[in-house]
Amino acid sequence: MEALLQFLFTPLLSQPEQLVIKSSTYNIAVSVAPEDMGRVIGKGGTVISAIRNLVRTYCISHQIPFTTITIVEPQ
């Protein structure tokens, strides 16, 4: 799952080295650089919505419990 998220998020970022993905059972927290936050969310949330749909489809096709993706502030 983390490889898929890495593949989806990296082309959107101007600083891909600051991408941090933390996963638990039903939640995935993604942290990016503050200047990349707008690119990841997209206008009206369209980009993150599309990524969530792709992850939902991946989970269904691989019979993995669906996980939610949240964008968190960098620490």
Q: Identify the structural domains of the chain with CATH numbers, from first to last.
A: 2-72 (3.30.300.20)
pLDDT of 22: 93
Name the nearest CA neighbour of 66 among 8, 16, 12, 26.
Answer: 26
| Predicted structure pTM score | 0.88
Distance CA 45, CA 43 (A): 5
Name the nearest CA neighbour of 52 among 37, 39, 44, 41.
Answer: 41
Q: Would strands 27-31 and 20-23 be described as parallel, antiparallel, or unpaired?
A: antiparallel
pLDDT at 24 over 90: no
Confidence label for 25 from pLDDT (cuts 50, 70 and 90): confident
Q: 19 φ, ψ to 5°?
A: -75, 125
pLDDT at 75 over 80: no
